[in-house]
Amino acid sequence: MSRSHLAGRVAGLGTTVFSEFSALAARHGAVNLGQGFPDFDGPEEVKEAAVRAIREGSNQYAPSMGARELRGAIAEHAARFYGQQVDPDTMVTVTSGATEALLDAILGLVDPGDEVIVFEPFYDSYVANLAFVGATPRYVPLRPPDAHHATWWFDGAELEAAFGPRTRLLILNTPHNPTGKVFTREELERIGALCERHGVTVLADEVYEHIVFAPARHVRPSTVPALAGRTVTVSSMGKTFSLTGWKIGWIIAPPPLRDAVQRAHQFVTFATASPFQAATAVALRMPDAYFQTLAEHYRARRELLLGGLREAGLPAHAPEGSYFILADISQQGFPDDAAFCRALVTRGGVAAIPPSVFYSAEHRHLGHGFARFAFCKTQGVLEEGVRRLREGLSKLR
């Protein structure tokens, strides 16, 4: 028997759930409320800035760490929204999207045999990246709201027990995909105290930083004193400016951590698209009104989908941030979330994502009672999705 062509590090990785359900949605003419990308474009002035940069000759390699104009804009943005002082020359690296930034950070900071703490459910690339470097994830489950907790929460004792002598990194996603949780300052301080005690670095994925709904407020983990010197902040322009196809991301970190990430980045992509970097600098300098309006528009979309889910018989808690809703499907008569989501897309005409894929094998059952819906869609698409949900669930039973 011939040896498999697959390397061991990818042998267990199949097609992502996003690709699978987007293909099913297309095949069945379903409203795609699964994959989390907007079906509308970002600001015209930002798109025009990219066109202008191309016409003016910004078409060759940018510096590996990122165009100086964009690094400066990233530093200005950090000061404007978080009061954070960032040196654009020693603390910033621009990457090809946040996904590359996450990989670069893990490549630069984690060795084979190290342990990494991961809250679950988790964005699927985290664990794949840990497999690439031969690290071991230690999972801490987020629990759904209950009589004692208004939002998703974690058990402090479970978190503390996850730390050990081989713990190198903790991955923290806030606002959180897929639960919509926004970690509070108190929670971040608790995490920071543990990381400080154990000498652990934090990788903070903050791509939904501007999609937060009052009274929740996004606290940048690196602005918490215990985390300030040990956090790599990851963000991108795709979610905030509805231009996910541009793939412009970045990290902010203290110089020694930034150096570790930059060493990996220079051999992963080396540099990122020059004209889109120029346009992202324009985007980050947009007036405060843009960012306020963004949250207001997403709040209206959230309320539309929340109402539709509840009227269809799928209870759901309002997310504090991001553009995802986890709806309760536990009373729909299906053995798990994957079975429900396949029936919903093929017979109900609406695509959602089964969130059990965002859990470890040990805790996969925690996702079986939910389905993830995205509301980063136009009002017409959301209204049609809501209509199909109201009329279609009866077809599934």
CATH of the domain at 195: 3.40.640.10
DSSP 8-state symbol, 17: H
138 and 197 in a single domain? The answer is yes
87 and 189 in a single domain? The answer is yes
Within the chain, which residues score under 50 in pLDDT?
Answer: 1
Residues 116, 168: Cα–Cα separation, whole Å:
6
281 and 376 in a single domain? The answer is no
135 and 217 in a single domain? The answer is yes
Give the per-residue pLDDT at 3. Answer: 59
Residues 280, 227: Cα–Cα separation, whole Å:
27
115 and 185 in a single domain? The answer is yes
164 and 276 in a single domain? The answer is yes
203 and 233 in a single domain? The answer is yes
* Cβ(223)–Cβ(83) below 8 Å: yes
Give the DSSP per-residue string, 304-355: HHHHHHHHTT--BPPPSBSSEEEEE-TTSS-SSHHHHHHHHHHHSSEE-B-G
Give the per-residue pLDDT at 294. Answer: 98
217 and 280 in a single domain? The answer is yes
155 and 244 in a single domain? The answer is yes
- Strand, helix or coil for residue 151: coil
302 and 244 in a single domain? The answer is no
Give the per-residue pLDDT at 157. Answer: 98
Residues 156, 194: Cα–Cα separation, whole Å:
10
15 and 146 in a single domain? The answer is no
**What is the CATH classification number for the domain harbouring 17?**
3.90.1150.10
Give the per-residue pLDDT at 397. Answer: 65
Residues 40, 234: Cα–Cα separation, whole Å:
24
Query: For 112, how many CA atoms within 13 A lie in the half-sphere containing its CB?
Result: 3
Give the per-residue pLDDT at 1. Answer: 37
Tokens of 226: 């215990």
Give the DSSP per-residue string, 282-302: HHHTS-HHHHHHHHHHHHHHH
83 and 225 in a single domain? The answer is yes
Question: Domain residues for 59?
Answer: 45-286
